[in-house]
Amino acid sequence: MSTTNFSEQELIRREKLAKIQTAGIDPFPAALYPVNIHSVDIKNKYTEEQKEQFTNLCVAGRIMSINDKGKVFFIKIQDSKGIIQLYVKRDDICPQEDHSFWDNIIKHGLDLGDIIGCTGYAFITKTGETSIHAQTITLLTKSLKPLPVVKRDEEGNIFDAVTDPEFRYRQRYADLIINPSVKEIFVKRTIIINTIREFLNTQGALEVDTPVLQSIPGGAAARPFTTHHNALDVPFYLRIANELYLKRLIVGGFDWVYEFSRNFRNEGMDRTHNPEFTVLEWYTAYKDYIWMMEITEQLIEKIAITLHGSTEVLLGDKTIDFKAPFRRISIHDAIKENTGIDVSNLDESGLRAVCKDLKIDVPPTIGMGKLIDEIFGATSEHIYIQPTFIIDYPVEMSPLTKKHRSKSGLVERFELMVNGKELANAYSELNDPIDQRERFEEQVKLMERGDDEAMFIDYDFLRALEYGMPPTAGIGIGIDRLCMMMTNQASIQDVLLFPQMRPEKFEE
């Protein structure tokens, strides 16, 4: 790469790199560095009475500030747990007759962003700050690119963070360095996932893996990403859902299976949608959607308490209470509650007339199910801020769902709405192979009308059902949206380490 592409600061750092190497010091050593403690443990546990326990410390981290006092440097480093100050005195780390290391590294070689190691002992400075008195300093990695400038107080806490999303999402590695609160979001994401695993495993569920590359993109109504398998010379699809594979396992004799599924849908992007996302799906034999509502309430309530110590969670300017039980209302009643219109007995032309009256623009390619979905989305979805189960959907909306046991034309399905957004989707699963075939055939008709989100017929799945699937309840929970709600984030990009973005152009 030409040096003309480097900034002035980057050129200076490369000059320092060359001088360090000329001095015989490796700025990228491969040797093991024996870290034995983190910053937070020193700052939280050190006392003068216990100082003997804090004498042979070995820490490592990234330089976040340097205060040059001549023969003494105060350097603050950030490790994975926090920030701690190093007291670095020339005569303590260099032999009296040889100050070359001090001059080449400490005085003229270090920059913000460099990663260093330090051995020494803990003490409290005259200003009352718990610090490490350095006995050795080791350069572990020379940083060649300056970190973005952020403003910090005397404690090292950021009070003027870098907020530009274009920078933060493209350069998440730098975002994590300079905005420690971002790391906390992803720590909480892991806690959420671990809490779910513990809950399900305790209940007797079995975690499994199913294919990402699929010959039939089944299990949801969505537009897939298409690829090609060269050896077989056939098209393949990135999975839009793992539902049909998990149901195959129920056919095979497992009672309860779950998977954290990485799904891909070739659709739009906004603050709540990313083309690559994570969904938790589980399927449980001999259960129905009523049981599923109860177990889902228990799980979501447990996550809130584990993360926040309370069922109440702050989300923007709202307080969401995840204490079970949640409200339940049918989709027809929800639309009627919010519009005064009863759509339960309308045919397609009647539904289109309602859309016209409500000024909802709908394409001619969609059928009755999606028309009701459009009406609900435009008039009602945003109303349900507190956790609410929207239940008992029209059969046209749910090609994989068992027909309602007592209400003609409906299926046993719910969507969990929180803060005006769908968080979960669940069914009493359709296990009648004849009915399932007919539902798939209706989807083909919609596809022929131009609906590019209609489902394919999965003949192997039909064959599996013909062997017999027991009564089963299934659910899909959007993990990214759940993390948004539990960590008070307004955008899905803020809970994805590397959200999808338009490719960046680099200069050669």
pLDDT of residue 159: 47
Do the strands 312-315 and 318-321 form a parallel or antiparallel pair, or are they unpaired?
Answer: antiparallel
Q: Is residue 175 part of a domain?
A: no
- 3-state SS of 353-392? HHHHHCCCCCCCCCCHHHHHHHHHHHHCHHHCCCCEEEEE
**In whole angstroms, what is the distance from residue 97 CA to residue 102 CA?**
12
Q: What is the CATH number of the domain that holds 432?
A: 3.30.930.10
What are the CA-CA distances from residue 486 to residues 315, 322, 385 (Å)?
8, 10, 14
Pair of tokens at residue 175: 């975002």
Euclidean distance between CA atoms 429 and 243, whole angstroms: 10
Q: Is the dihedral of CA 351, 374, 295, 403 positive or negative?
A: positive
Are 208 and 281 part of one and the same domain?
yes
Length of the chain: 508
What does pLDDT average to in each consecutive run of 10 residues of the chain (508 residues)? 78 95 93 95 94 95 95 96 96 84 92 97 95 96 90 54 82 92 96 98 98 88 91 95 96 98 92 93 98 98 98 97 98 96 94 96 88 95 97 87 92 96 95 91 81 79 96 97 96 94 78
Residue 94's pLDDT is 86
Strand 158-160 relative to strand 72-78, pairing: unpaired
* 301 within a domain of the structure (yes/no): yes
Give the single-character DSSP code of 27.
S
Are both 311 and 423 inside the same structural domain? yes
215 & 143 share domain: no
At residue 341, what are phi and psi to the nearest 5 degrees? -105, 130
In a domain, 369, yes or no: no
Q: Which residues pair with 306 in a beta bridge?
A: none
Q: Which two tokens stand for residue 361?
A: 């623009």
- Residue 167 inside a domain? The answer is no
**Residue 266 confidence (pLDDT):** 93
Chain centroid to Cα 312, Å, comes to 21
- List, in order, residues 6 or more apart from 62 with CB less than 8 Å away: 77, 78, 79, 113, 114, 115, 143, 177
Whether 210 and 316 share a structural domain: yes
- Which residues touch 476 (CB under 8 Å, ≥6 apart)? 241, 243, 279, 280, 281, 424, 425, 426
The answer to whether residues 427 and 392 touch, using CB atoms and an 8 Å cutoff, is: no
Task: Choose among 380, 376, 379, 381: nearest CA to 394.
Answer: 376
Give residue 29's domain range. 7-147
Identify whether the C-beta of residue 289 lies closer than 8 Å to the C-beta of residue 393: no
One domain, residues 256 and 397: yes
The pLDDT value recorded for residue 161 is: 54
**203 and 84, same structural domain?**
no
Domain count within the chain: 2
- CATH code of residue 64: 2.40.50.140
What is the structure's pLDDT at 66? 95
Asked if residue 87 lies in contact with residue 74, where contact means CB atoms within 8 angstroms, the answer is yes
**Domain assignment of residue 46, yes or no:** yes
Single-letter code of the amino acid located at 24: G
Residue that terminates a domain, selected from 103, 128, 147: 147
The DSSP output letter for 419 is T
Does a structural domain hold residue 37? Answer: yes
Looking at the structure, tell me whether residues 95 and 38 fall in a common domain.
yes
The tokens of 337 are what? 């509650």
Same-domain check for residues 298 and 394 = yes
How far is the C-alpha of 444 from the C-alpha of 455, rounded, in Å? 7
Domain closes at, from 147, 171, 190: 147
CB 435 within 8 A of CB 466: no
